[in-house]
Chain A
Amino acid sequence: MWYLCVFYHRLLDYRKPEVESLADLFGAFEDKQSPDFATRNRVLEWRLPKHHHPDSPFHFVNLPSEDVARNIANRSILVKGIYELWGEGSSFEELKEAVTSYPDERKLPYLESESTFKITVDSFGKVMSLHEQKERIWGLSYIPFKGRVNLKNPDHNFWLMETDDNATNNGLPPVVQRRIFFGREVGGADRKLIPTYQLKSRTYLGPTAMDAEMAFLMANQAQAAPGKLVYDPFVGTGSILVSAAHFGAMTMGADIDIRVVRDGRGPDCNVWSNFKQYGLPMPIALLRADNNLPPWRHGLKEVFDAIICDPPYGVRAGGRKSGGRKLLKGVVGPYTVPDDKRADHIPSTAPYSLLECVHDLLDLAARMLVMGGRLVFFYPVLREDDSVEDHFPEHPCFKLVATSEQILSSRYGRVLLSMVKTSSYTEELALAARIKHLEFKENHTKWLENGNLHSSVFSPADVESGDLKVSKESKPKYRGKYV
């Protein structure tokens, strides 16, 4: 059945992938698709209202049942509401006609005299006074409401949503055109989560702690749920795992920096306290380990249901791995730690390039994720690159199911990649992945090498040549990703 899906007007690139990931979690693709992970199609059917731009907050989506629709809406972060549409039109007369001709058997069960209801008037792109809202509600008198009004806790929520023609949109075509929708609410996001978990009230923070809203979006991409085990190899202060734990998953994290995972800023300000603060179950394990040399036992595989992380890509924080810089270059031999100093020895580390880091991450995920498990991570992109799509790392065990870009500055952005494990890990596949990785490295990722990304983000622009100006003008600003 087709439902009206209205989004919050932010993080536009993340909206549909979130709904599709949750649809998969709540079994929307199970009946009609083969159980095979590789061939299962995880895409929903979408439709736009007449003359609406793809950035419009109003979308129609085809979902198998109202239960699925409710589960998706209630768990999502960016869905304002999913509605059973009773009618739409470009004027109130058209709306009336549409609502009246909507079949009675779909309407009457929600209009009964024992039930309570509420009508909310909402608008996009304009503000309405209380008086105007009331007028519109009275205008709906052709619908035979028999129940009582209850504004606090009604059985049924009805929404009248209105948009006007928006002439100005930074020179781009308008996002919406005048349209009026009337529908019954099936479910909606609990945005209270975001103020509850916002970083400014978090006790223990690091410089790259993940924003609460984004962390929830990542947990939804990873389909975190009770009974599942979620791993973050770059756990830091645990900001991503907090969101996974909120959805009931067991969590596990590793970091190369022992001060962060073990000590924090004291007994009441550390990774554990971040979970305690929200009454969440503690992580199953926190450990200090190097993603380059993971300490998992030989033969251990398919234990994690999801791996979620924000790898260090050298812009805000750089990655480190075991072994000194000179040691890895072969300039010096390994330093042998005297026996009496072994206990407190702090091993030296070397910079860990993003490219190598992502390769290790994919290899680890290919081995340690269960079939159908998800790898969700951020990957930086330079915005001068036009054909961004071709540049994402690949692995033969994984199928890329979603990419969502967030623009961070005029120079660079980050893309949330969601991959599903579709074939099990074998030595041959690992080798194939290694070759693919080397090709990838050779072809188009000079900027991923150490420091290059950092300098292309932070170095001053080359104004003299005038190149910058030209490229700026030739490329229309896509405002969508900014909001």
Chain B
Amino acid sequence: MRMLTHNMLSSNIKGVTNGFPLRIEVEKVVEKQVEINHDFLRNIFPKIDWKAFFDASRVMGYAELPEEAPEPSVLESDLEFLRKFHHALLELHLEEGALVCPETGRKFPVNKGIPNMLLHEDEV
């Protein structure tokens, strides 16, 4: 699971009002190279919740992102930032671990890189 996915997901258990961001429990992180696509990064940048993204990258062991969300103009000029953003967003994978609901503590397991977001009977 990439950090982009983490940034999009929340706990949708019935009754939970704020299921985002999910806390990451890391068992195994892998890095997979992905070809950089600037257009894609520019399109997706405004959709990212930066705080959640920053925190998640920290948990995943990557500390090179700025804590404050940069201005979108940086994407046009700063190639170094684009590379870091790309790396944190798309190349860091949570291979094994879990996503934890911030309200209830319910664990959504992540096996073989696939987050299992399906709810149990008593959660729908």
Contact = CB atoms under 8 A, between A and B. Distances in A.
Interface string B1-45: 110110111111000001111000000000010110111100110
B31 to A, nearest CB: 13
Interface stretch (B56-64, B66-74, B113-121): B113-121
A250 B10 contact: no
Interface string B83-99: 00000001000000000
A217 interface: no
Contacts of B43: 227-229, 305
A366 interface: no
Given A284-B5, A285-B4, A298-B10, A290 B19 contact: no
Q: What is the size category of the interface that chain B forms with chain A?
A: 35 or more
Given A250-B37, A285-B4, A290-B119, A295 B114 contact: no
B124 A303 contact: no
A276 to B, nearest CB: 12
A288 B124 contact: no
A258 interface: yes
Interface residues of A, number: 43
Interface string A253-290: 00010100111000000000000000001101111111
Contact of A345 (B47, B117, B120): B120
Contacts of A263: 112
B8 A297 contact: yes
Contact of A286 (B9, B38, B114, B120): B114
A89 interface: no
Interface string A225-240: 0111100000000000
A342 interface: yes
A170 interface: no
B122 interface: yes
Most buried by A among B7, B32, B38, B47: B47
13 contacts: A226-B40, A256-B118, A262-B111, A287-B9, A287-B114, A288-B116, A288-B117, A303-B8, A303-B44, A322-B118, A334-B121, A334-B122, A337-B120
Given A226-B40, A284-B5, A285-B1, 4 more contacts: A258-B114, A296-B8, A300-B47, A324-B121
Interface of A: 226-229, 250, 252, 256, 258, 261-263, 281-282, 284-290, 293-298, 300, 302-303, 305, 322-324, 327, 334-337, 342-343, 345, 347-348
